[in-house]
A and B are shown apart, each in its own frame.
Chain A
Amino acid sequence: MKKSRFNILVDKTPDYALIFNSFSRGFVELEKDVYQKFDALKLDSNDQIAKELKKGFFLMDEDVDEDKVLQARNRVSRYKGYRLGLLILPTLNCNFSCEYCFEDKQRGFMSPDVEQSIVGFIKSRVGEIRELKMSWFGGEPLLATKIIDRLAREIIDLCEANNVAYHSDLTTNGYLLNQKNIDWLKEIRVEQIQVTLDGDRETHDQRRKLKNGKPTFDTIISNLKLAAGHFGISIRVNIDRKNKGKVNNLLPVLVENNLQDKVYVYYGIVVGITNACRDYEPVCLDVDQLSDVMFDLHKDAIDNKYDFVLFPYPLSSVGGCGAMRPDFFVIDPKGFVHKCLNSAGNEKEAVGHISRPIGFTPELVTWLTWDPLEDEVCSQCKLLPLCSGGCLWNKLHGLHSCGYHRDPKFMNKLLKLYHEYTREKEIQPVL
């Protein structure tokens, strides 16, 4: 037997040791004497504890090549191709003027020709897939309801005729999420909605204003109350230096509005990496700061029993970011096809155009073949099974590509907190 290189010693006390394995995501508490035997590889391989630890990939037979197992798992997932995911930007226009927006505001809307090319593309794939996921994004997608309506209805018909499961989500600023649009979104089978609130009224309204400068918080909260219960709703809270100390003031406001059982909150970060938002970079938090800020926010949520704040227990991005797969594309209003949302609206970074067959352009080949196990840094990382290489767009642009969730300092503190919490509550993990 040997130990996994993906074992991480989270904590060691006089009584026990905590070990996390980033391949299996298993997290185990071992009594001191058991840990000593485990660490010295003195556990009998027929021992029940050794068998359990093998299940969790903490221990394995000598002939197992972990990197090869990881590579196989990633490749199987990445190229299995029974699904298609399209992130559609019917417009880059927006009714908001958020100071940190990463997109170039462009006024145009998707043309009927581009719409028909999208439908044609799906027609060409629908016989090969079992699942289609349409994600409506923008700009503000609710400024382009007619386009989305035509596309969604035609695509739903195509899926039904071909026995393809149809799923759909919408990312909106929430200002136009009124009753009329809620009824319509249900008709076109949108299942999940993401809305952004950057804190309580005062904080949010300083950052996320209408183009004319007017506030948006109260309207969004009213709209969320209308939409609650009809969709899975996630509330993204964007964090940077300006609002880091105040964002959790939003949580009691959600409770006051009786939204605590109907929405999920998750914390996102503001980054200044695209042409549109590079000037905002000094306001963004660096990895070290993020680690502390994010930990404090999640601890605060737990201490105050705001259990609608998602706890970021490490998940595995098996196969990597959707952009690295052959079954996911972003389509911008002009019909340019991208692998990543960061390049939407920038024709130079497109991998093709929806009106033409998508070929093996050098850009596309890079996205499809990049392998973190061939990368000097990623291949040595103990957290590689979780992120599968992180953000390739960042990497291709010479930027830091690890998410803050993968910062060892953050993860260590987070796992200890999780241990404390589960111990106290005697929670049995559901997975």
Chain B
Amino acid sequence: MRWVYKPDSLGLFNDNRSRCETYTGCDCYCPPKFIKLMIWGPPIPADWP
């Protein structure tokens, strides 16, 4: 087997994706809050929160 994408940890205190953000698919208007979690892309700016 090969992990194409490793699964999230599923513990009670491992919920670090609990935000409203566009890329989860609600198609609303707010900016994606968690884009630093995207898989690839340019380096994250140093001051990115």
A residues at B contact (CB < 8 Å): 18, 21, 23-31, 34, 49, 52-53, 55-57, 69, 73, 76-78, 80, 85, 87, 102, 135, 137, 167, 169, 171, 191-192, 194, 229-232, 234, 236, 260-262, 264, 266, 268-269, 271, 307-308, 310-313, 315-323, 325, 328, 340-342, 386-388, 390-391, 402-406, 418-419, 422-423, 427, 429-431
| Interfacial residues, chain B to chain A (CB-CB below 8 A) | 1-8, 10, 12, 15, 17-45, 47-49
Known: A28-B2, A317-B20. A264 touches B8 (CB 8 A): no
Chain A residues with Cβ below 8 Å from B49 are 167, 191-192, 232
CB closest residue in chain B, given A73:
B15
Interface core residue of B1, B5, B39, B40 (most chain A CB under 10 Å): B5
Interface of B is mostly: loop
Contact present for A261 and B42 (CB under 8 Å): yes
Query: A310 and B42 in contact (CB under 8 A), knowing A26-B3, A49-B1?
Result: no
CA of A180 to CA of B30, assembled, Å: 25
- A405 x B31 contact (CB < 8 A): no
A57 contacts B10, C-beta separation under 8 Å = yes
Chain B nearest Cβ from A287, distance in angstroms: 10
Contact in complex: A405, B3 (CB < 8 Å):
no
Chain B positions within 8 Å of A231 at CB level: 45, 47
Give the complex CA separation of A388 and B36 in angstroms: 21
Known: A313-B39, A315-B17, A429-B39. A321 touches B28 (CB 8 A): yes
* Residues of A with C-beta under 8 A to B34: 315
The docked-state distance in angstroms from the alpha carbon of A340 to that of B22 is 13
Please give me the residue from chain A that is nearest to B4 by CB atom.
A27
A137 to B23 CA separation, bound complex (whole angstroms):
19
CB distance from A296 to the nearest CB of B (A): 18
Q: How many A-B residue pairs have CB under 8 A?
A: 195
Which residue of the partner chain, among A57, A264, A403, A419, contacts B27 with CB atoms under 8 Å?
Answer: A403
Known: A29-B1, A307-B41. A266 touches B24 (CB 8 A): no
**Per DSSP, are chain A's interface residues mostly helix, strand or loop, or mixed?**
mixed
Give me 8 A-to-B residue pairs in the complex whose CB atoms sit less than 8 angstroms apart, sorted by A's number: A26-B7, A52-B3, A191-B48, A319-B18, A325-B20, A403-B27, A418-B39, A431-B37
In angstroms, how far is the closest chain A Cβ from the Cβ of B8? 5
Residues of B within 8 A of A390 (CB): 25-26
Interfacial chain A residues near B44, Cβ < 8 Å: 232
Contact A135 B10 (CB under 8 A): no
Q: Please, which residues of chain A bring their CB within 8 A of the CB of B1?
A: 28-31, 34, 49, 52-53
Residues of chain B within 8 A (CB-CB) of A137 are 30
Cβ B8 vs Cβ A403 within 8 A: no
Complex: chain B residue closest to A48, CB-CB: B1
Which residues from A are CB-within-8-Å of B23? 266, 310, 312, 315, 405
Bound Cα distance A52, B31 (Å)? 35
Closest B residue to A404 by beta carbon equals B27
CB contacts (< 8 Å) of B40 on chain A: these are 307, 311, 427
**Contacting residue for A24 out of B7, B41, B43, CB 8 A:** B7
B42 touches A307 (CB 8 A): yes
User: Once bound together, how far apart are the Cα atoms of A421 and B32, in whole Å?
Assistant: 23
Considering the chains assembled together, what is the distance between the CA atoms of A21 and B48 in angstroms? Answer: 30
B38 and A234 within 8 A (CB): no
Tell me whether A26 and B41 are in contact (CB under 8 A). no
- Asked if A262 and B45 make an inter-chain contact with CB atoms under 8 angstroms apart, the answer reads yes
Given contacts A26-B8, A77-B15, is CB(A268)–CB(B38) below 8 Å?
Answer: no
Q: Are B15 and A430 in contact (CB under 8 A)?
A: no
Known: A18-B4, A57-B10, A323-B20. A171 touches B32 (CB 8 A): no
Closest 10 CB pairs of A and B: A26-B7, A403-B25, A322-B20, A317-B24, A24-B7, A56-B7, A194-B31, A77-B18, A405-B25, A27-B5
| Bound-complex Cα distance A422 to B5 (A) | 9
Closest chain-B Cβ to A215's Cβ sits at a distance in Å of 23
Bound together, the chains give a CA A211 to CA B15 distance in angstroms of 44
Candidates A69, A308, A419; contact of B4 at CB < 8 Å: A419
Flag if A28 contacts B3 (CB, 8 Å).
yes
For the A-B complex with A232-B44, A322-B30 known, give 17 more contacts whose Cβ atoms are closer than 8 Å: A25-B5, A31-B1, A52-B3, A56-B7, A73-B15, A232-B47, A266-B32, A307-B40, A312-B23, A315-B37, A341-B28, A390-B26, A404-B25, A404-B27, A418-B39, A429-B5, A429-B6
